[in-house]
A = this chain, B = another copy of it.
Amino acid sequence: MTAVGRQGTLSDTRLMVRIAQLYYRLQLSQEQVGQRLGLSRFQVGRLLDRALREEIVRIEIVHPDARLIELEDALVERFGLRSAVVADTPEASSDEAAQRLARDAVAGAAVDFLAALGPTGSIGVSWGRQMLELARQLEPGWTDAVEVVQLNGATSLSAEPTRATEIAERFGATTGASIRLLAAPAIVGSPELRRALEADPAVGSTLEAARAASTAIFGLGILGRDSVLVGSGFLSERDQANLREAGAVGDILGRFLRPDGRIASPELDDRTVGLPLADLVAKPISLGLAAGPGRGPVALAALLGRYVNVLVTDATNARWVIDHG
């Protein structure tokens, strides 16, 4: 640019373009730009302002993560969360491999979040495929917690192991914390039996610890063939039918929710062993994980019920929740 000094009355737009080039591309100071073009520093500054406002100059955040962070902010904003983490997963597909990928990514994101979180106090955990993956990805020393406690009943009824103990053990192992298991079925046949179980010291003390835990971590389940609760045999055909009728969209800690966040079946809830959802609401950290297709509704229900204050999910579910919430 050795061009003649005063370009004077050339259209404002062109002037702004030229100023923007000198300032942003050539990295001149506003002062220097002014000298070259025969303008005062202030005129340059004001024109630069205008160029930005009139979108002659555009500042873009181009990294793909930007979109994710926008989703996170939207979630935090909309639902008053403590935090939200949206993982980048390729694409929503019901293909099993893709689901697995989503689970891995969301688990990884949760691990990162937890590692960055600092002191967590005592940690309550649930079980399920998502929790298993999370447990697998934990790295030693990720927390200073001294106690890990199961939040809900887990002893498997079926051949397929739910590996609930493995999850809690892995949590404990990575940090040297002691673990407290909840040696009970997730769902029993009658309210009386549930109460009797909870009265038992072995179960009762764990429940007490679960209530006291300052951090809760759990997956958001869906109701379907794929559901771990179904696979584990805790849900009878009739229970399933009832839930469907009641409009249940999925579960937290074995307790099923309707789309608006209310308990779908109080009767079933009364037979479910573990921390009641009401106790989640007050937890400093109540972290719910939702990965894979179709988890939007249950995530939204959990958010509306205020059962989670940290949501970790994939982009597809995040978008669904924002669009429908």
Interface residues of A (CB under 8 A from B): 1-4, 6-11, 13-14, 16-18, 20-21, 24-25, 55-63, 65-66, 69-70, 72-73, 76-77, 80-84, 112-113, 115-118, 310
Q: A17-B69, A21-B66, A66-B17 are in contact. Are A82 and B3 (CB under 8 A)?
A: yes
Residue of B nearest to A84 (CB): B3
Partner of A18, one of B24, B69, B81: B69
CA distance A9 to B108 in the complex (A): 13
Interface of A is mostly: mixed
Q: A2-B80, A3-B84, A7-B116 are in contact. Are A60 and B58 (CB under 8 A)?
A: yes
Residue of B nearest to A85 (CB): B10
Q: A55-B62, A116-B7 are in contact. Are A69 and B24 (CB under 8 A)?
A: no
Partner of A83, one of B4, B70, B84, B112: B4
List of B residues within 8 angstroms of A82 by Cβ: 2-4
CA distance A112 to B58 in the complex (A): 27
Partner of A61, one of B56, B80, B117, B118: B56
List of B residues within 8 angstroms of A57 by Cβ: 59-62
B62 with A8: CB separation less than 8 A: no
A6 with B116: CB separation less than 8 A: yes
Closest 7 CB pairs of A and B: A8-B116, A3-B83, A4-B83, A56-B63, A17-B65, A20-B61, A58-B60
Partner of A58, one of B7, B59, B84: B59
List of B residues within 8 angstroms of A13 by Cβ: 63, 65
Q: How far is the CB of A319 from chain B (nearest CB, A)?
A: 18
Partner of A2, one of B61, B66, B77: B77
A3 with B59: CB separation less than 8 A: no
CA distance A11 to B3 in the complex (A): 45
B61 with A59: CB separation less than 8 A: no
Q: How far is the CB of A231 from chain B (nearest CB, A)?
A: 34
